[in-house]
A and B are shown apart, each in its own frame.
Chain A
Amino acid sequence: MPGIRVRHNMFHGGTFVVEAGPEYATPIVCPRCNPTKDGSIRIHYYKAHHITLDENGNGIISEGVYNAILEADPHGLAGLEVVNEVKDPPPLTIGMGALGQPEVISGEFIGRNGHG
């Protein structure tokens, strides 16, 4: 399955952060989440997945990310629901190209190995 389209019914138009997985050996001062609107420093202590949601709350994740979130929250999937398969997901870029910095949504799900 190339990509999995998911939807969040409450959040849209930004980055939805799901902390679902093992604790980082070294906490991450996340460049995608900082600077925050209120000036505070946002740090991830647990494995974090940044899901870009469009204006309708839709995002696309890989099967590996889906499985990681599902493992942490088998019944709730962090509030996401599966919409459909995406055969040709858009490319992503790591690098110095100036990507947009979508607003990080303040509300988030935090689940750690299924124990919420």
Chain B
Amino acid sequence: MANALYANYKDLILGGGTHTFPDLNTDTIKLALIDTGTYSVNLATHQDHADLSGIVGTPGTLDSPTVGTVAAGTFDAADEVFTSVSGNSVEAYVIYKDSGVSSTSALIAYFDTAASGLPVTPNGGNITVAFNASGIIAF
């Protein structure tokens, strides 16, 4: 499948949806590496962190977030470095808002194709998710 936004996040943008709308500029936005041998994405029904499984390592917080800086309607952040990843092979990653509670941490986007290094087989060293210069999510 292609990279995509979760349906609930689309609804949140439009004023509906479940959970609090993520402010990508000020909320804690995290990235989780995903083993799709364990997690089977369902963009239509998965809404929050509690729906995830197969998380490899510890999700990282996206630093230096910007909205509308790279381009209008575009979210960007600094590249994310995962230190000493020792887990299973990774086929995807998910970006979500961390509310501090798994069941209210809204899922935002699922990525499994655009990145050049996917799937990645961890070697025990660091894994960097290097975002494109044009941003992470654009509307």
Contacts and interface: CB of A to CB of B under 8 A. Distances in A.
A89 B115 contact: no
Given A92-B123, A99-B117, A64 B87 contact: yes
A65 B127 CA distance: 15
Interface stretch (A25-33, A35-43, A74-82, A102-110): A25-33
Scoring B114, B116, B131 by chain A CB atoms within 10 A of each residue's CB, the highest score goes to: B116
A3 B37 contact: no
Interface in A58-97: 59-65, 68, 86, 88-97
A92 B90 CA distance: 12
B9 interface: no
B124 interface: yes
Given A21-B37, A93-B130, A99 B124 contact: no
B40 interface: yes
Contact of B125 (A68, A92, A99): A92
Interface string B99-129: 0000000000000011111111111111111
Interface stretch (B22-30, B44-52, B63-71, B78-86): B78-86
B5 interface: no
A89 B37 contact: no
Contacts of A30: 119
Interface of A: 1-4, 21-22, 24-26, 28, 30-32, 46-52, 59-65, 68, 86, 88-99
30 contacts: A1-B124, A2-B84, A21-B37, A21-B88, A24-B37, A32-B118, A32-B119, A47-B37, A48-B89, A50-B121, A52-B121, A59-B123, A62-B87, A62-B124, A64-B88, A64-B122, A92-B120, A92-B125, A93-B128, A93-B129, A94-B90, A94-B117, A94-B118, A95-B79, A95-B129, A96-B115, A96-B132, A96-B133, A97-B116, A97-B117
A-B pairs with lowest CB-CB distance, top 5? A95-B130, A3-B124, A89-B125, A25-B40, A47-B37
